[in-house]
Amino acid sequence: MRIVLSLILILTSSLSAQEVLNLAPAKPTAGSTLTLTYNPAVKGAALTAPKALSAQLLGVAKDAMPVMVEVSMTKNGKAFVGTTTVGDNISIYYLQLVDGDKTDNNDEKLWTVLVHGADGHPVAGGLLSRGQSHLSGRALMLKFERDAKKAVADLGEEVRLYPDAVASRTLLWFAEMQATPGEQTTNHVKQELEGVYERAKENEKDVLLLLRTFEMTGQPERAKAIREEWKAREPKGLIAGNDRWQEVFRERDAAKRFDLFEKAETDFPPKETERSMRDQQYVNFAMAANEMAKAMARLKAMEKPAPDLYNSLAWKYIEHGERLEEATDWAKTGVELARKRDDAGKPPYYTEKQWSSMWTNRLGMILDTYGFGLDQLGKKDEALAAYTEAFTLLQGLDGDVNARYLTALVGAKRYEEAMTVADQCVQKGKSDDKLMAQYKAAYVGLKGSEKGFEQHIRGAEETARTNAMSKVTESMIDKPAPDFSLVGMDGKKVTLSKLKGKVVVVDFWATWCGPCIQSFPHLQKVYEKYRKNPNVVILAVNTWENEKGEAREKTVRKFIADKQYTFPVLFDEDNATVAAYGVEGIPTKFIVDKKGRIRFKDVGFGGGSEMMDKMEVQFGILLKN
């Protein structure tokens, strides 16, 4: 037994020396044991000295929810080893390694484990899932390698192995047109489409999938005729229902959209598995249309209402100081629901840490709303208690919550406590003009004057810069920046490749994007600071707008003029540039170095001071090289 164990350890060590992550067997089957070996000493390993290593395997199942499996990795010599049993219904696992707050996701490519059948081939759905992930750049909540050519390879093999699956074939056609666009590919898809449609034309589910391909290949009238034929044949069927819901979600006017929603729901009531999602959509659309009575009635009728819905409903009024008694009661209900953590409702694809974090953040945000309502009702002590808990739960990472909490502390004349809180916020880079004003008020309240305030905050600001430097250094990447030529508001074309030798900020945004709007005053400050530096270029690339052409340009010009922003704005008219950069949400900011390579990527907006500190450090690093 000792000899066998020694051989296993030797084999493990040998494999670990070859790759960052080794998976055995190479072709696991359902019910088999999968062994994972991670070697942090191998070049390319992101976790070089893990302390509490675990593997996260996101399993995709046929006709079921994805499942997250967490595997503890045990140190074995220089390597870390873990095992798990392959699920019976799993077709593929997406895998990453986690050590505390650090992750090795194979440079955002993830590792994949295709489950095989007794015939030695990947089971149905595995290659389909991986191909789909290559197209979208996501494996559910995990980032994945976006690559249309790899998608074609995976989907092509899935179709070869399982030729009767229409879903795989339609996705393959889409991938082929993405990878090699042009008339030749379109004609090839058209020819195959006719044959597949002829075989599948009596199956409504398959026809629904094929309709998109007819439209994609320039045959909208053919698609329309097929659609109308099915709607007449099956007025309550899949195609009729899909058309109605598409009409709902295309409508931009909130009142019209809610009216369409109610009518569509009457004609196409939700299945049991859809009820929770439909309830939340109804409440959100009702609130957007100011149908508050209907929103509240639906909310009260829900078996397990999400606390967030009560938060959204309450904030809609508390933010503007309206219906405060009623709205604050709604927020209180949200707080009570958030305290009753519903572990039974945990999606199987969430990790325990993600689930706990979501509930913590949820409770923190609702407490802040509740505190704001109490504050405006004059219930200062209760408000301060709510703010204190919200700040603690959110760890001082939300700038708006921080500012309200600090204001309440100053109002209660708890100046010393306010100073401590303000210090923490500034050090974390989570301060803004409102918070700094309260910071000064706390200082004056404690010291009697503002003399020495600037010197006092210098230490906290220096800590913030040190923290920013550390985070920035850890977040450096090195990828080629896709070239683009886009027209700006001044009518001139800007080509990225012609800006080599300069540090370039490419900031994707839209006029409807709240975080984008919040970030822009700070982007303006950065622009003003560096506008005379010939080696720094800031470009705000407008994308994903709801309007097109002249209407879009008019909306963007008005927005920029009203806000008096002066940084350059470019139009990504066909959204090709945002797609080339693999952007999944906005705002997303890329910092490109002098050689035309992406060195930093920042998604979202975490606060003005944090953003400006980070950009200053990023510029400092890249301008030296």
Model confidence at 281: pLDDT above 90: yes
Q: What tokens appear for 114 in the block?
A: 């295709």
Beta partners for residue 22, in sequence order: 37
SS3 (DSSP) at 625? coil
**With 70 as the cut, is the pLDDT of residue 258 above it?**
yes
Q: Report the DSSP beta bridge partners of residue 59.
A: 67, 93
pLDDT, the chain, mean: 91
- Phi first, then psi: what are they for 371, rounded to 5°? -60, -40
Distances from the Cα of 72 to the Cαs of 52, 57, 69, 200, 540, in angstroms? 8, 11, 10, 46, 44
Per-residue pLDDT, 4? 38
State the Cα–Cα distance between residues 617 and 362, nearest whole angstrom: 32
Residue 14's pLDDT is what? Answer: 43
Of residues 461 and 414, the one with the higher pLDDT is: 414
> What letter does residue 55 receive in the DSSP assignment?
E
Class of domain 479-624: alpha beta
pLDDT at residue number 9:
40
CA 49 vs CA 20, 42, 55, 180, 401: distances in Å: 13, 11, 15, 43, 36
Lowest mean pLDDT among 273-282, 425-434, 530-539: 425-434
Placement of tokens 């409807």 in the chain: 512
Whether residue 12 is predicted with pLDDT greater than 60 in this model: the reply is: no
* Tokens describing residue 411: 């109002």
Over residues 139-161, the pLDDT tens digits come to 988 989 888 999 999 999 999 99
Q: What is the 3-state secondary structure (H, E, C) of 193-229?
A: HHHHHHHHCCCHHHHHHHHHHHHHCCCHHHHHHHHHH
544 pLDDT exceeds 60?
Answer: yes
Greatest CA separation for the chain: 85
Residue 272 has pLDDT above 80, yes or no: yes
- Matching residue, tokens 């923190």: 364
Q: How confident is the model at residue 501 (pLDDT cuts 50, 70, 90)?
A: very high
User: Residue for token digits 């993600």?
Assistant: 354
10 Å Cβ neighbour count for 254?
15
The structural domains of the chain, with segments of one domain joined by +, span 2-176, 395-474, 479-624
User: Mean pLDDT throughout 437-458?
Assistant: 91
Q: What is the pLDDT of residues 88-116, one digit of tens each?
A: 999 999 999 999 989 999 988 999 999 99
Measured CA distances, 80 to 70, 72, 106, 213 (Å) = 14, 9, 16, 46
Record the tokens describing residue 446, joined without a space.
């404690």
- Domain 2-176 coded CATH 3.40.50.1860: no
The Cα–Cα gap between 623 and 616 comes to: 10
**Amino acid (1-letter code) at residue 580:** A
Residue 18 pLDDT class (50, 70, 90 cuts):
low
Output the pLDDT for position 8.
40
Q: State the DSSP code for 251.
A: -
Q: Which long-range contacts (CB under 8 A, 24 or more apart) does 158-161 make?
A: 158/122, 158/124, 158/125, 158/126, 158/127, 158/128, 158/131, 161/121, 161/122, 161/124, 161/127
Residue 10 has pLDDT above 60, yes or no: no
Angle, CA 161 vertex, CA 159 and CA 163 arms, to 5°? 50
pTM of the shown model: 0.80
Convert the pLDDT of each residue in 384-410 to its tens digit: 999 999 999 999 988 889 999 999 999
Which of helix, strand or coil describes residue 303?
A: coil
Mean pLDDT (whole number) for 155-172: 96
Rounded Cα distance, 105 and 99, in Å: 11
Q: CB–CB of 231/240 below 8 Å? A: yes
CB 605 within 8 A of CB 519: yes
